[in-house]
């Protein structure tokens, strides 16, 4: 580490890195935040430990990466059984401009459990066959909040919507393969929570291919898992990773402060230039 430049230690083969040697209660020169931004684009999600920040310090850190879109607390009490974000998803792709990134600050953690998993959609795209890449590159998909997800830790899950509800659900059309605005890399940009069907296809027609892509994206090699302690931070690039909060800490409290950063409309990746091979 040179003065004010953090050490970046990879924690997974494809996704995730720990940023070491910073005390975010301090303010750093622009070069420090530029290095963090580069690490985020390269590794998809970054982690910091032992950062005990108040609300003002959390906001000041977040604002170094762009305007704040939403600020909220995620609090699961010992008597609550549901969890927010307990299946693979990307935050709010049901919006025209999904958040660019999310920063989660741990305030109170269960004695065990309550980890968060992250899956990298740059390596997931790269591992697809050339033929499937070519097909997906020209496609768009509907992203809708058909399950009406919110920030509720209520006791019961909402019922699974019908196929007709999936077909009728409205939401923006996003490219199925996007181009990451900073790295330029192609990203598999569908997710199990919000992507309901392909443009011009019914839900039934879409399901086979969507299920394949959802299983593919969640493969163990694309995933890294983070165990929280008070003072831990995870900052994920919502343009290139899925995440999932594991709901295995019943009877214990978990309190997180979350900041979502303003994003922009996802842009499609360029088509492949080499001729197709058999
Ligand atoms: C989320 O989906 O943003 C929540 C993640 C978590 O609580 O670990």
Q: Any idea where the domains of the chain sit in the sequence?
A: 7-261
Q: What is the mean pLDDT of the chain?
A: 94
pLDDT tens track for 65-112: 999 999 999 999 999 988 889 899 999 999 999 999 999 999 999 999
Range scoring the smallest mean pLDDT among 97-106, 117-126, 153-162: 153-162
pLDDT tens track for 15-41: 999 999 999 999 999 999 999 999 999
Query: CB-hemisphere CA count at 13 Å for 7?
Result: 6
CA of 244 to the centre of ligand 1 (A): 6
pLDDT value for 266: 98
| Nearest-atom index, ligand 1, CA of 243 | 2
* Overall average pLDDT of the 167-172 stretch: 95
What fold does the segment set 7-261 form as a domain? Answer: Double-stranded beta-helix (3.60.130)
What is the Cα 140 distance to its own chain's centre?
Answer: 19
Percent of the chain with pLDDT over 90: 87
pLDDT tens track for 185-237: 999 999 999 999 999 999 999 999 999 999 999 999 999 999 999 999 999 99
* Secondary structure E strands in the chain: 7-10, 17-20, 45-48, 68-76, 101-108, 116-120, 140-143, 173-175, 177-179, 186-188, 195-198, 223-226, 233-237, 241-245, 254-261
Site residues for ligand 1, CB cut-off 6 Å: 74, 84-85, 91, 102, 104, 116, 243, 245, 256, 258
pTM score, two decimals? 0.95
Residue linked to tokens 């091979």: 277
CA of 245 to the centre of ligand 1 (A): 5
């Amino acid at each position: 580490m040179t003065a004010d430049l953090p050490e970046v230690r990879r924690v997974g083969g494809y996704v995730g890195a720990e940023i070491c040697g910073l005390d975010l209660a301090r303010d750093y020169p622009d070069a420090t935040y530029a290095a963090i931004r580069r690490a985020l684009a390269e590794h998809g999600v970054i982690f910091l430990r032992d950062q005990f920040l108040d609300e003002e310090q959390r906001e000041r850190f977040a604002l170094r990466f762009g305007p704040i879109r939403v600020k909220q607390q995620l609090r699961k009490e010992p008597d609550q059984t549901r969890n927010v974000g307990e299946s693979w998803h990307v935050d709010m792709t049901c919006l025209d401009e999904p958040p660019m990134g999310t920063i989660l600050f741990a305030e109170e953690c269960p004695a065990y459990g309550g980890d968060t998993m992250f899956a990298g959609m740059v390596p997931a795209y790269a591992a697809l066959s050339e033929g499937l890449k070519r097909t997906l590159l020209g496609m768009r998909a509907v992203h809708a909040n058909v399950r009406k997800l919110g920030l509720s830790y209520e006791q019961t899950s909402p019922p699974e919507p019908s196929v007709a509800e999936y077909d009728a659900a409205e939401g923006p059309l996003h490219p199925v393969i996007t181009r990451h605005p900073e790295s330029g890399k192609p990203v598999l940009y569908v997710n199990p929570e919000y992507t309901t069907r392909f443009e011009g296809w019914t839900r039934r027609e879409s399901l086979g291919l969507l299920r394949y892509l959802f299983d593919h994206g969640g493969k163990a090699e694309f995933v890294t898992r983070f165990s929280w302690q008070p003072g831990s931070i995870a900052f994920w690039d919502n343009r290139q990773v899925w995440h999932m909060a594991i709901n295995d800490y019943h009877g214990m409290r978990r309190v997180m402060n979350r900041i979502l950063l303003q994003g922009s409309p996802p842009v499609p990746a360029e088509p492949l230039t080499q001729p197709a091979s058999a």
